[in-house]
Copies of this chain bind each other. A is one copy, B any other.
Amino acid sequence: MVKNKEVTKQKILEAVESIILTDGFDSLGINAVAKSAGVDKVLIYRYFNSFDELLITFIKSKDFFSNIKLDDGVVKSIKSKEDLKQLVIKILKEQISYIRKNKVLQEILLWELNNKNKVTDFIAKERETNGLDNINFLFKEFNNNEFLLGSASLIIGGIYYLILRAKTVDVFNNIDITSDTGWELIERTIEKLIDLVIL
């Protein structure tokens, strides 16, 4: 019997990730985590207080939502509408490949759609300040009109939906959303759309 609190905590956090990857967020539970970590479940309560806090700790440790830094510096570096276009396109493309690669994040996004609780409230706050969902931050001082706002929302929502839908289905509206070629089509579409939409 090894006695090391930090190692045990780490094993628990790794078990969370492993379960999400293999069985999805819905299969996550105290018993499953304890079993997968090879640790007694009572230790989860002791070290993380509750299952919710374990999840929050896990999500914090992964830092999913602060990969885009939409701070004021970025906003002020936008001089022309061409700058804005290129920045938006770059961010959207980066986010597509980031989310498409990151299965854990996909599971969280899916789980978020289905649940409202302390953990999802926490994630929502993270998104408010960091996430893609607030791309309108970029438009604030430059070219803020409702058409741009609406278009960005539909495009970003569409990206989320198509990525998540690809988990259970291959084709959407005749596009193979599981393949890179399908996503290259979508990226070309986004480039053109952004060009049309930022006037």
Contacts and interface: CB of A to CB of B under 8 A. Distances in A.
A134 B115 CA distance: 29
Interface stretch (A30-38, A52-60, A73-81, A189-197): A189-197
Nearest to A177: B153
| Size bracket of the A interface | 35 or more
Interface in A156-199: 156-162, 164-165, 167-169, 172-175, 185-186, 188-190, 192-193, 196-197
A151 B114 contact: no
B154 A154 contact: yes
Given A136-B173, A149-B175, A188-B146, A114 B26 contact: yes
Nearest to A169: B124
| Chain multiplicity (copies) | 2
Nearest to A140: B174
Interface string A86-115: 000000000000000000000000101111
Interface in A114-165: 114-116, 120, 124, 133-136, 146-147, 149-162, 164-165
Contact of A157 (B113, B161, B168): B161
Nearest to A115: B168
B164 A113 contact: yes
A170 to B, nearest CB: 10
Interface of A: 24, 26, 110, 112-116, 120, 124, 133-136, 146-147, 149-162, 164-165, 167-169, 172-175, 185-186, 188-190, 192-193, 196-197
